[in-house]
């Protein structure tokens, strides 16, 4: 394999034909030095630091796009988990005021999203965590560019079922407050197990406590490139397909590192990681489902889909690891239903159901992502769905997330349109049998024995 500039230039020729792009450049900013005894002062310090570091961000990204001709779809900022700025004595209205201030700042800086209205509670909640979580429905319903996440399980600490129950309530409330927009507030909220601290993708990005004061992380996505590479090998066996994916992922990663390092240097911040996650869009030909179908499945969701997705995810990680020593974040394959035209089509024709999606999340990079369910589904059932995903992540020592959207007034099979990168989908059927008596027990599920690795 080539490591020189000709390889990069060869990859750039994929841009217009196969939808290769830099999906996001995300500037991570530590805000822990902005804490003040007076929360209004904290808000001012937070806004001042973000503005100081981000003012040239949009312009530098545009310059880099013009230089290389590589589309950068999103400019984003990830901040320290906001719960770290709270001690629980603040009022909910003050947390919402911070969110509104940052929402206005995102528009001013021409940033698509700011992520980090987050809490990390796999073992328990501080008063600040609880305040942040309680504020999320108002934050997500009264802003457009603010995203939140809650990490409530880890392979090291176990699963916080009390927090799972709380998040079932929060999702229902957020859905109600944004009902006129199809529950879109829930699309800006991710529930995690084993959340990475350097993830550049929304809605789950936050700047983790182990990160530098600032860092530039890049997410590169190329489902169309991978699909086309497989299409050119119609007689390849699965081992050969894995090699094709690995080599293609290598090239895509090199593009991301090239762009990321240049933007980081111009911003004067360290380069963090390149996240090679095959993040689809609603565009035709930019679909992870279509990659699986190019391998030979009639429809994504058919038997064999989990095997095909496991092959794809593993080969992407191997290719990225060969290309860069700075691979991080999630890096693999995303399966967000509404954001992937092929996934949505599989749901429409009945090939892909919620239970099959759950099986596929055991080998993909995220989890149950951008899934619409009937608005009447109970908070306990939503909590139980989250609990099942958390178990997959904790036991398998992998990151999983849940971005599930109850849509009021909709029933299974109804169409929901959010537009833009969020796309559209149909409402999925949820198993009607109840889990309330089980999940309502609460408590904390201990970490698996495999966590004892000291």
Inform me whether the pLDDT recorded for 13 exceeds 70: no
Q: C-alpha angle with apex 193: 187 to 197, nearest 5 degrees?
A: 85
Q: What is the pLDDT of residue 115?
A: 96
Spacing of C-alpha 158 from chain mean position: 21
Q: Do residues 253 and 221 make contact, with C-beta atoms less than 8 angstroms apart?
A: no
Residue 284: which pLDDT band, with cuts at 50, 70 and 90?
A: low
Kind and range of the H or E element at 101? helix 92-109
DSSP-derived pairing of the beta strands 146-151 and 113-120: parallel
Q: What is the pLDDT of residue 252?
A: 83
Mean pLDDT, range 6-23, rounded to an integer: 60
pLDDT per residue over 130-170, tens digit each? Answer: 999 999 999 999 999 999 999 999 999 999 999 999 999 99
Inform me whether the pLDDT recorded for 190 exceeds 60: yes
Q: In 3-state terms, what secondary structure has residue 234?
A: coil
Mean pLDDT, range 291-299, rounded to an integer: 95
Encode 60-79: b = buried (16+ Cβ within 10 Å), e = exposed: bbeebeeebebebebbbbbb
Inform me whether the pLDDT recorded for 280 exceeds 70: yes
Q: In 3-state terms, what secondary structure has residue 29?
A: strand
Q: Do residues 276 and 331 make contact, with C-beta atoms less than 8 angstroms apart?
A: yes
pLDDT per residue over 300-319, tens digit each? Answer: 999 999 999 999 999 999 98
Mean pLDDT, range 248-273, rounded to an integer: 90
Inform me whether the pLDDT recorded for 289 exceeds 60: yes
For residue 90, which of 45, 131, 130 has the smallest C-alpha distance?
131
Q: Do residues 222 and 278 make contact, with C-beta atoms less than 8 angstroms apart?
A: yes
What is the chain's alpha carbon radius of gyration, rounded to the nearest angstrom?
21
Compute CA distances 27 → 24, 184, 287, 329, 386, whole Å. Answer: 10, 24, 26, 13, 29
d(CA 166, CA 67): 48
**pTM to 2 decimal places:** 0.91
Q: What is the pLDDT of residue 253?
A: 86
pLDDT per residue over 328-363, tens digit each? Answer: 888 878 889 998 889 999 999 999 999 999 999 999
Residue 67: which pLDDT band, with cuts at 50, 70 and 90?
A: confident
Q: What is the pLDDT of residue 2?
A: 45
Name beta bridge partners: 332: 277
Compute CA distances 425 → 180, 212, 289, whole Å. Answer: 16, 38, 14
CATH for 1-454 is 3.20.70.20
Encode 312-346: b = buried (16+ Cβ within 10 Å), e = exposed: bbbbbbbbbbbbbebbbbbbbbbbbbbbbbbbbbb
Inform me whether the pLDDT recorded for 8 exceeds 70: no
Mean pLDDT of the chain: 90
Q: What is the pLDDT of residue 140?
A: 97
Q: In 3-state terms, what secondary structure has residue 374?
A: strand
Inform me whether the pLDDT recorded for 3 exceeds 70: no
Q: In 3-state terms, what secondary structure has residue 61?
A: helix
Q: What is the pLDDT of residue 412?
A: 94
Q: Do residues 143 and 98 make contact, with C-beta atoms less than 8 angstroms apart?
A: no
Residue 254: which pLDDT band, with cuts at 50, 70 and 90?
A: confident
Placement of tokens 């139980």 in the chain = 384
Residue 19: which pLDDT band, with cuts at 50, 70 and 90?
A: low
Name beta bridge partners: 257: none
Q: What is the pLDDT of residue 370?
A: 93
Q: What is the pLDDT of residue 154?
A: 95
Considering Cα of 172, then 90, then 147, then 386, what sign does the dihedral take?
A: negative
d(CA 443, CA 454): 25
Q: C-alpha angle with apex 408: 407 to 412, nearest 5 degrees?
A: 60
Residue 72: which pLDDT band, with cuts at 50, 70 and 90?
A: confident
d(CA 214, CA 66): 25
d(CA 205, CA 51): 19
Q: What is the 3-state secondary structure (H, E, C) of 142-176?
A: HCCCEEEEEECEECCCEEEHHHHHHHHHHHHHHHH
Q: Do residues 273 and 326 make contact, with C-beta atoms less than 8 angstroms apart?
A: yes
Q: What is the pLDDT of residue 1?
A: 43
Percentage of residues of the chain with pLDDT beyond 70: 95
Q: Do residues 187 and 337 make contact, with C-beta atoms less than 8 angstroms apart?
A: no
pLDDT per residue over 366-391, tens digit each? Answer: 889 999 999 999 999 999 999 999 99
DSSP string across 236-300: --HHHHHHHHHHHHHHHHHHHHHHHHHHHHHHTS-EEEEEEEE---SSTT--HHHHHHHTT-SST
Q: Between 23 and 30, where is the model more confident?
A: 30
Mean pLDDT, range 413-423, rounded to an integer: 87
Mean pLDDT, range 277-301, rounded to an integer: 87
Kind and range of the H or E element at 424? strand 424-426
């Amino acid at each position: 394999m080539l490591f020189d500039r000709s390889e990069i230039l060869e990859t750039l020729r994929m841009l217009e034909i196969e939808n290769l792009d830099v999906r996001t450049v995300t500037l991570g900013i530590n805000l822990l030095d902005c804490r003040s005894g007076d929360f209004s002062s904290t808000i001012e310090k937070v806004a001042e630091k973000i503005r100081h570091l981000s003012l040239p961000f949009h312009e530098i990204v545009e310059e880099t796009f013009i230089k290389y001709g590589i589309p950068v779809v999103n400019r984003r900022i990830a901040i320290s988990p906001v719960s770290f700025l709270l001690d629980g004595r603040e009022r909910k209205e003050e947390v919402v005021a911070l969110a509104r201030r940052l929402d206005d700042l995102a528009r001013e800086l021409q940033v698509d999203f700011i992520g980090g209205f987050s809490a990390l509670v796999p073992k328990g909640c501080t008063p600040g965590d609880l305040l942040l979580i309680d504020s999320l429905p108002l934050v997500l319903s009264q802003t457009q560019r603010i995203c939140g996440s809650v990490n409530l399980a880890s392979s090291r600490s176990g699963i916080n079922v009390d927090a799972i129950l709380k998040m079932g309530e929060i999702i229902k409330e957020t859905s109600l407050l944004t009902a006129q927009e199809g529950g879109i507030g829930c699309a800006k909220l991710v529930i995690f197990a084993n959340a990475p601290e350097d993830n550049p993708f929304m809605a789950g990005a936050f700047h983790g406590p182990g990160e530098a004061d600032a860092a530039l992380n890049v997410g590169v996505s190329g489902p169309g490139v991978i699909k086309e590479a497989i299409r050119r090998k119609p007689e390849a066996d699965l081992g050969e397909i894995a090699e094709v994916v690995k080599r293609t992922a290598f090239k895509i990663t090199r593009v991301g590192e090239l762009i990321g390092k240049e933007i980081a240097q111009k911003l004067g911040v360290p380069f963090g990681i390149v996240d090679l996650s095959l993040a689809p869009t609603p565009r035709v030909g930019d679909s992870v489902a279509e990659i699986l179908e190019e391998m030979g499945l009639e429809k994504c969701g058919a038997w064999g889909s989990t095997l095909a997705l496991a092959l794809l995810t593993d080969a992407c990680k191997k290719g990225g690891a060969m290309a860069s020593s700075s691979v991080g974040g999630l890096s693999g394959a995303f399966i967000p239903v509404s954001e992937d035209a092929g996934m949505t089509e599989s749901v429409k024709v009945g090939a892909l159901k919620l239970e099959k999606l759950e099986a596929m999340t055991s080998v993909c990079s995220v989890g149950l992502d951008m899934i619409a369910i009937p608005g009447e589904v109970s908070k306990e059932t939503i909590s139980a769905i989250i609990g099942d995903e958390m178990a997959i992540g904790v036991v398998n020592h992998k990151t999983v997330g849940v971005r599930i959207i109850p849509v009021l007034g909709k029933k299974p099979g109804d169409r929901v349109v959010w537009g833009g990168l969020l796309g559209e989908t149909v409402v999925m059927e949820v198993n009607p049998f109840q889990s309330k008596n089980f999940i309502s027990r609460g408590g904390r599920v201990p970490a698996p024995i495999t966590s004892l690795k000291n």
